Chain A
Amino acid sequence: EPEVTQTPSHQVTQMGQEVILRCVPISNHLYFYWYRQILGQKVEFLVSFYNNEISEKSEIFDDQFSVERPDGSNFTLKIRSTKLEDSAMYFCASSEEGTGELFFGEGSRLTVL
């Protein structure tokens, strides 16, 4: 069964460092998303991406964040200068039709020290 894969599963970084989280969405999907879940809190929408551009982003997705689809298969989330409060589980998701029936990856846990 096709699945969304994410790497790394866990990354520990120092505050102020750049981090890139990688995702390989399901191959025939056209819509891509990043969500995050801070420990003990709800899953929060960050950004959606369609047709090689951002289609929607939340208030969380400020100038420190960027997304890219560099090669037609990977979908990356970059955090330029990490803060302590960026520590969270980051979930990548994709969907075929943008209906909200998203397929999520297993998540990348980011710990900022």
Chain B
Amino acid sequence: DQQVKQNSPSLSVQEGRISILNCDYTNSMFDYFLWYKKYPAEGPTFLISISSIKDKNEDGRFTVFLNKSAKHLSLHIVPSQPGDSAVYFCAASEGGDSGGGADGLTFGKGTHLIIQP
């Protein structure tokens, strides 16, 4: 039962262009969404998050968009850089961002982003 789906196992983008990574979810109770980046032999690193009360959150080159009606979110990276090459995981939580909880995250299977020079 995949509650968080990343349907593209890999994505290749030219350096300088925009990378768009997509994620769909099925659990309508999810109210907090996060993107993690993972290099080989390292643990996931938090990138950016968005609460369900927003539809966009921006942090430098990274922007996350949330479409609640479609149960879809996307991560935009612009401009893409060689160091962005990694596996990107979408994750979701029912706990929200209010703190005080310790709900486990549900991860997608990841998308391997390859930035070509």
Contact = CB atoms under 8 A, between A and B. Distances in A.
A100 B91 contact: yes
A52 to B, nearest CB: 12
Interface string B91-102: 101010101111
A98 B100 contact: yes
The SS class assigned to the A binding surface is strand
Interface residues of A, number: 31
Nearest to A43: B107
A76 interface: no
A65 to B, nearest CB: 14
For chain B, give the interface size range. 20 to 34
A93 B97 contact: no
B108 A42 contact: yes
A91 B91 CA distance: 15
Given A42-B107, A91-B44, 17 more contacts: A31-B102, A35-B107, A42-B108, A44-B107, A45-B107, A49-B102, A55-B101, A56-B103, A98-B103, A99-B97, A100-B91, A100-B93, A100-B97, A101-B49, A104-B36, A104-B43, A106-B41
28 contacts: A31-B102, A33-B102, A33-B104, A35-B104, A35-B107, A45-B105, A48-B102, A55-B101, A56-B102, A56-B104, A91-B43, A91-B44, A95-B102, A98-B99, A98-B103, A99-B49, A99-B99, A100-B95, A101-B34, A101-B49, A102-B44, A103-B46, A104-B36, A104-B44, A104-B45, A105-B43, A106-B41, A106-B42
